[in-house]
Amino acid sequence: MKNILKVYVNAPLILRIAIGLVIGVLLGLFVPQAKFVTIFGSIFVGALKAIAPLLVFVLVIASLASAGKNIGGRFKTVIIYYVLSTFLAAVVAVIGSYLFKVTIPLSISAEEAAPAGLGEVFTVLLNNIVANPIGSIINGNYIGILAWAVVLGLALRAGGEKTKEVLNDISAAVSKAVAWVIQLAPFGIMGLVYASVGEYGLEIFTDYGKILLLLVGCMLVVAFVIDPIIVAISLKRNPFPLVLKCFKESGITAFFTRSSAANIPVNMKLCEKLGLDKEYYSVAIPLGATINMDGAAVTITVMSLAAAFSQGISVNFIIAILLSFVATLGACGASGVAGGSLLLIPMACSLLGVGQDTAMQVVAVGFIIGVVQDSLETAINSAGDAIFCATAEFRERMKRGEKVEF
């Protein structure tokens, strides 16, 4: 038994995940009655979601309390990267929607509540910022967690060395617990894949194939064209080793967990492997999980324009660019809205003159294709967090004349 456990632990995590993925697909296709397999996925995602808020809260406080004075520049840079990539993702979605105009058969009723406009989105965001910190940890409100962690971290900078040592010890202990949870990833992925394949099969690709293909195409352009261009311009070197590494180690896990929050621990581990400064990435990664929303910007833009085209509404390019700004702002607030990017579609639709009832039918379609759309959206968002977090730090190092390897 010990030998089996040793072989399991020493095997590369990606290999173990790949094996779990294949087993999950095979079980889903050929043994659909083995419903007990889904419990592995539920336990894995539940464990990640449970530990991630505490990890972010503790790491941010410990990092800021003991941080040096030279990390400010990197934060400004990474925020610019996050917002710029989200806007460019929305622009890609506009261009894709015009090149390949897709309509949706709208015959589905929906009763989900959605934000009426940007004002409501920002009201939710502001309320989340000042929410009770303990409640934020319990409810997974990462905007509130980040806000209070930053306040407490800055306040504790005046504390003694022993206080900072205790904080760092607690941070290390929580990180260790996260490492143990991540070891369960192969079983979790197996359960998640089994659930998806067993429930949806391949029907999703035939019923709403065109809109799904457009969404996937735009997201892949963002992931493997736009993001690498930003990295290449910033670092003046081949971006693909970094981009592919981030997608391999972060994107794959995020694709199956379908939760940027649950993937924060995975991104933290990736940043550690890349040799990034813990004081910096402990704040930058959770920040990216809340404002770096490339996939959400694509979803909001493509689905909104599809709704307009389905209604025969002509949308000029100026309005479409304005939609890109709205999608960018809305996507940055998607983590503060229950239902994420899909429930921000009616807000964008209102800009195009699409009625609320029609917009909510589009949201319902989004939920149907969500098994693929949400998975890929999360993968791109999460991998992008790590890509730009690393790019900002590597750029600072190169400015100082240091050699950078990735």
- What confidence tens digit (pLDDT) does each residue in 150-180 have? 899 888 888 888 888 888 888 888 878 877 8
- Kindly report, residue by residue over 98-132, the tens digit of the pLDDT: 999 888 766 444 444 444 455 665 676 678 788 89
Q: Model confidence at 244, in pLDDT bands (50, 70, 90)?
A: very high
Rounded Cα distance between 142 and 121, Å, is 15
Non-local (6+) Cβ contacts of 148 within 8 A are: 57, 133, 136
How far, in Å, are 36, 184, 190 from residue 40 at the CA level? Answer: 8, 9, 7
The pLDDT of residue 238 is above 90 = yes
Mean confidence (pLDDT) of the chain: 81
Which two structure tokens, joined as six digits, stand for 19? 């094996």
- Cα(186)–Cα(181) distance, integer angstroms: 11
Tell me the average pLDDT across 183-201.
78
Q: Is 113 left (phi over 0), alpha (psi -120 to 50) or beta?
A: beta
Decide: 239 and 364 in contact? Cβ < 8 Å. Answer: no
Render pLDDT for 277-331 as a digit per residue (tens, 0 to 9).
Answer: 888 898 899 888 878 888 888 988 999 898 888 888 888 877 777 777 777 666 6
* Per-residue pLDDT tens digits for 143-154: 788 789 889 988
249 and 390 Cβ atoms separated by less than 8 Å: no
Whole-number pLDDT of residue 404: 83
If residue 11 lies in a helix (H) or strand (E), which one and from where to where? none
Scanning 201-344, the segments in alpha helix (DSSP H) are 203-207, 209-221, 227-235, 240-246, 252-257, 264-273, 278-291, 294-310, 317-332
> Alpha-carbon distance 175 to 297, whole Å?
31
Residues counted in the chain: 406
Structure tokens at 123: 């009201």
Question: What is the pLDDT at residue 276?
Answer: 93
pLDDT given at position 354: 79
Residue 360's SS3 state is helix
Q: How high is the pLDDT of residue 245?
A: 95
CATH H-level, domain 2-399: superfamily: Sodium:dicarboxylate symporter (1.10.3860.10)
Task: Give the separation between CA 68 and CA 279, rounded to whole angstroms.
Answer: 8
pTM beyond 0.85: the answer is: no
pLDDT of residue 92 exceeding 80: yes
What are φ and ψ of residue 275, in 5° steps?
A: 80, 25
